Amino acid sequence: MTDLLWPGDARAGDLFTDERVVAAMISVESAWLAARGCPAALSDIADISGLFAEGGGNPVIPLVKILRAENSSVAEHLHTGLTSQDVLDTALVLCLRSITNKTIQNLDQQVYALASLADRHRGTRMAARTLTQHAIPTTFGLKAANWLNAVLDAREVLSSCAEVPVQIGGAAGTLAAPAAVAGSPSAALDLVAATARLLGLPARPPWHTTRAPFTRVADALVTCTDAWGKIANDVLLASRPEVGELSEPVEEGRGGSSAMPNKQNPVLSVLIRRAALAAPPLAATMHLAAAEAIDERPDGSWHVEWATLRTLSRRTVVAASQTTELVSGLVVNADRMATTLAAAYPGIDAERLKTGGEQPYLGANDELIDAALARAEGKPC
């Protein structure tokens, strides 16, 4: 799966593709059979083009038909006690697990790269800017430490909601059919818990009309793109030729123009910023769907979640990879920073002169950087 109109989409590989969703749905059906004592080796479907989902409004219905036809020995047990939403919701959870794991891996790499930048450039002085204008002196090390704190915030938020629970409730969230096939309500709960264990997921009561598990992950992904968007914006501004304080890592064939051979565009930052701009409306759609849920299975608001969650997830993974590459290879022009700062005097010294502060007027620069580095290492600040 690649998206021509979302350059970089290939970085997400096969995460959350149609094939992976189908494989995840089959995993749910297999785990349910195994939990019921009817283990079966349900094989993946080589050609998913036959899954005509429009007829029933979701892809589980045609999938179950195919699986029953191909697995006659367990056909009567397959899917019995489940409903389409159980299978699809839990399959989405499995796909999200791969997304969050990949994103956290990238966040960890970013933490390492940004901690290195912050420490290495704690003495690299530059002009701080507020409302686009020179403010007071700062250091690039502190700017990198602020980026680091944002990435650490994102990692904490994403890690806190990465374990999304299994979603199994039967036709209307009452566990009626599971209780019937298991023999009792308590046995039905045990059956759900066993299925969750086989899938490596937490268990909890049905959340088929309470969508916080999905909206929390969506919000966490946006927290990530927010942090990366800030970094990209700073790099975009600082890489303008008339500023020239930062530049992206150079790679053959990247950053060129179809018409102007003299250009070296900061493409990574542009694409990261694109993701940061696009992500919040997708999370808003997830919240709108949650708020519009009615009865025991919504008419449309459940359905809008699927592609929205996939789009947000894949775009986040792409931006995560691009940000890792950006911060790991970022070029810092310390001389240009020093030149710009020197040219900003005496105006940039106005606050120091007014308050009587000493040169170089960097306040708690080192202490703030040290606090960010300690946090990155998991130490108390």
Low-confidence winner among 44-53, 61-70, 190-199 (lowest mean pLDDT): 44-53
Does any domain span residue 210? yes
Interval 319-334 mean pLDDT: 98
CB 170 within 8 A of CB 189: no
Does residue 315 have an active-site annotation?
no
In a domain, 241, yes or no: yes
**Predicted confidence band at 100 (pLDDT cuts at 50, 70, 90)?**
very high
Tokens at residue 324, please?
A: 């890792």
Residue 168 forms part of a structural domain: yes
- How much is the pLDDT for 267? 95
* 115-139: average pLDDT: 98
**Residue 187 in this model has a pLDDT that exceeds 60:** yes
N residues, the chain: 381
Predicted confidence band of residue 381 (pLDDT cuts 50, 70, 90): low
Within-domain flag for 3 = no
Mean pLDDT of 307-319: 98
pLDDT (0 to 100) of residue 117: 98
| Dist. CA 145–CA 371, nearest whole Å | 9
Tell me the average pLDDT across 188-208: 97
- Give 85's contacts (C-beta < 8 A, 6+ positions apart): 58, 167, 169, 208, 297, 302
Bridge partners of residue 134, in order along the sequence: 129
Question: Does residue 32 belong to any structural domain of this protein?
Answer: yes
pLDDT at 16 over 70: yes
- Cα(322)–Cα(268) distance, rounded to whole angstroms? 6
Say which of 97, 297, 314, 315 is annotated catalytic: 297
pLDDT of 257 reads 64
Distances (CA, A) of 285 to 15, 188, 194, 294: 21, 33, 33, 16
Query: Is residue 2 assigned to a domain?
Result: no
Percent of the chain with pLDDT over 90: 90
* Residue 123: strand, helix, or coil: coil
Task: Quickly list H helices, the chain.
Answer: 18-35, 60-70, 84-120, 140-160, 176-182, 185-199, 212-238, 267-291, 301-329, 334-343, 350-355, 365-376
Q: What is the CATH number of the domain that holds 111?
A: 1.20.200.10
Q: What DSSP assignment string belongs to 260-328? A: -TT----HHHHHHHHHHHHHHHHHHHHHHHHHT--TTS-SSHHHHHHHHHHHHHHHHHHHHHHHHHHHH
Residue 120, domain member (yes or no):
yes
**Is position 97 annotated as part of the catalytic site?**
no
Confidence of residue 347 (pLDDT cuts 50, 70, 90): very high
User: Looking at residue 65, what is its pLDDT?
Assistant: 95
pLDDT given for residue 46 in this prediction: 83
- What average pLDDT is seen over the chain? 95
Token representation of residue 213:
């598990």
Kindly name the residue from 43, 184, 186, 257 that is annotated as catalytic.
257
Q: Supply the range of the domain harboring residue 317.
A: 9-376
Task: Summarize the confidence of residues 98-125 as an average pLDDT.
Answer: 98
pLDDT at 51 over 80: yes
Residue 47: the pLDDT is 87
Beta bridge partners of 130: 133
Cα-to-chain-centroid distance, residue 181:
38
- Write the burial class of residue 113 (CB in 10 Å: 0-12 exposed, 13-18 middle, 19+ buried): buried
Residue 29's closest CA among 87, 84, 83? 87
pLDDT at residue 43, as a whole number: 85
Q: Rounded to an integer, what distance in angstroms lies between the CA atom of residue 61 and that of residue 56?
A: 7
Q: What pLDDT score was predicted for residue 1? A: 59
Contacts of 344 (CB under 8 A, 6+ apart): 127, 134
- Look at the chain and report how many structural domains it folds into: 1
Any domain includes 222: yes
